[in-house]
């Protein structure tokens, strides 16, 4: 056995830039943020865009509107608990709701792949219609394009939406202050695991359904208790962790999360354990995280629990003066760890 000489050990050249788009640029993590900050924001300019919210709060003719757009490229098109049509309505309705706005009108852009079967298109459209009616929003305008076979995954959708922001409501990360209470509206990780289970053909013992839902009604019931909520976020791509990290950064406050308080259903925990993923980073489509002044926390929590989509609401943490811009989780064993913005997409671990 030769002795090990460490003096000459070296490692590979760092990847300091990405010359082409990689999947991680769409993962809702650090790569996504860099793409927006380095290319899109400078190209478009504009103060409103620079706020980088899920939706923009704009004034038009003396009226405060929330305005947003989102694209949907999910595979498979139909999954346990919903389909791309539900997602395209609920996702955009939820982006508006996070500004405190009740969605009023949506646009809908279909990008169809040559060869996709008509019943599939009809199924997606029917689901969109049903979701829109359930959310109390009207699909008012739309567009259709077809791309050649092999250039799409059957159906891509884009929806944009507008809604009125009620007077006295001002939801922004900048309003977060130390001492705020952090509330999540229910079980996390369901959507991401549901998609993974059908996409990869993985069996986790029980079928896990997406939590896809429109949150406008839940937000209204919260605002009815107090319009003085500080910020709301729906933790979609990048999961709860990404949402918390974004708010910590934008508000320059620290966030402490009690890991044991974060509601992770056992089916999600088991699936994540098998795959080596962290539930905190798994996507949700029917949950919100709220930063609430401490004096209103109990009343807001009660209001959330009285609503079907907030029945599982729990306080998971608070904002602090220490470690500004950073999210720290207290582990069940009593240790601490930093919760960081994911780089791109979470990758299943080998062992």
Partner 1 sequence: MKYLEEFQNPELARRLLDEIRATVTRPWALMEVCGGQTHTIIRHGIDQLLPDEVELIHGPGCPVCVTPLEVIDKALEIASRPDVIFCSFGDMLRVPGSDRDLFQVRSRGGDVRVVYSPLDALKIAQQNPHREVVFFGIGFETTAPPNAMTVHQARKLGIPNFSLLVSHVRVPPAIEAIMTSPSCRVQAFLAAGHVCSVMGMGEYPALADRFQVPIVVTGFEPLDILEGIRRTVRQLERGEHTVDNAYPRAVRSEGNPAAQAMLADVFEVTDRSWRGIGTIPDSGWRLSERYRDYDAEYRFSVDGITTREPAACRSGEVLQGLIKPHECEAFGTACTPRSPLGATMVSSEGACAAYYLYRRLGPTPTPQEASPVA
- Applying CB under 8 A, the residues found at the interface with partner 1 are 1-6, 9-16, 18-24, 30, 200, 202, 205, 256, 260, 266, 269-270, 273, 275-276, 322-323, 325-326, 328, 330-338, 340, 343-344, 347-351
Q: Least CB distance from residue 330 to partner 1, whole Å?
A: 8
Per-residue tokens: 330: 């207290």
Whichever of 16 and 61 has its CB closer to partner 1, that residue is 16
Whichever of 147 and 269 has its CB closer to partner 1, that residue is 269
Strand-pairing partners, residue 256, are 318, 328
Q: How far apart are CA 41 and CA 263, in angstroms?
A: 35
Q: Least CB distance from residue 292 to partner 1, whole Å?
A: 22
How many alpha carbons fall within 13 Å on the CB side of residue 43? 6
Whichever of 19 and 45 has its CB closer to partner 1, that residue is 19
* Contact by Cβ (8 Å): 136, 175: no
Q: Least CB distance from residue 16 to partner 1, whole Å?
A: 5
Per-residue tokens: 165: 């922001």
Q: Least CB distance from residue 233 to partner 1, whole Å?
A: 21
SS3 222: helix
Whichever of 64 and 330 has its CB closer to partner 1, that residue is 330
Nearest CA among 269, 270, 304 for reference residue 287: 304
Q: Least CB distance from residue 325 to partner 1, whole Å?
A: 7
Strand-pairing partners, residue 291, are 182, 231
Per-residue tokens: 91: 């996702």
* Contact by Cβ (8 Å): 172, 53: yes
Q: Least CB distance from residue 208 to partner 1, whole Å?
A: 13
Whichever of 1 and 167 has its CB closer to partner 1, that residue is 1
Whichever of 6 and 60 has its CB closer to partner 1, that residue is 6
Q: Which residue has the tokens 């830039």?
A: 17
Q: Which residue has the tokens 């062992």?
A: 351
Nearest CA among 161, 141, 165 for reference residue 59: 165
Nearest CA among 262, 282, 258 for reference residue 271: 282
Q: Least CB distance from residue 295 to partner 1, whole Å?
A: 25
Whichever of 21 and 311 has its CB closer to partner 1, that residue is 21
């Amino acid at each position: 056995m030769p002795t090990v000489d460490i003096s000459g050990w070296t490692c590979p050249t760092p990847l300091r830039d990405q010359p082409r788009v990689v999947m991680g640029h769409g993962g809702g993590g650090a790569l996504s943020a860099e793409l927006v900050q380095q290319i899109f924001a400078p190209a478009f300019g504009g103060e409103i865009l620079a706020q980088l919210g899920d939706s923009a709060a704009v004034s038009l003719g003396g009226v405060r509107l929330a305005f947003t757009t989102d694209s949907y490229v999910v595979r498979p098109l139909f999954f346990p608990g919903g389909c791309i049509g539900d997602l395209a309505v609920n996702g955009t309705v939820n982006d508006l709701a996070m500004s405190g706005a009740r969605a009023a009108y949506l646009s809908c852009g279909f990008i169809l792949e040559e060869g996709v079967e008509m019943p599939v298109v009809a199924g997606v459209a029917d689901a969109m219609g049903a979701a829109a009616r359930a959310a109390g929003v009207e699909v008012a305008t739309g567009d259709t394009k077809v791309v050649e076979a092999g250039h799409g995954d059957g159906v891509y959708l884009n929806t944009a939406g507008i809604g009125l922001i009620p007077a006295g409501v001002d939801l922004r990360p900048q309003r977060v202050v130390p001492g705020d209470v952090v509330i999540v509206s229910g079980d996390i990780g369901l959507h991401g695991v549901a998609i993974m289970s059908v996409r990869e053909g993985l069996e986790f013992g029980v079928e896990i359904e997406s939590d896809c839902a429109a949150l406008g009604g839940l937000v209204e019931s919260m605002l009815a208790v107090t319009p003085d909520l500080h910020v709301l976020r729906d933790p979609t791509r990048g999961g709860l962790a990404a949402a918390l990290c974004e708010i910590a950064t934008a508000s320059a406050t620290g966030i402490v999360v009690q890991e044991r308080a974060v509601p992770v259903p056992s089916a999600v925990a088991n699936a994540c354990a098998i795959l080596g993923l962290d539930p905190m980073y798994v996507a949700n489509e029917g949950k919100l995280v709220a930063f609430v002044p401490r004096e209103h926390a109990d009343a807001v929590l009660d209001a959330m629990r009285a609503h079907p989509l907030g029945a599982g609401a729990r306080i998971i943490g608070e904002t602090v003066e220490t470690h500004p811009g950073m999210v720290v989780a207290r582990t069940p064993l009593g240790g601490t760890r930093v919760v960081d913005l994911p780089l791109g997409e979470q990758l299943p671990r080998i062992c």
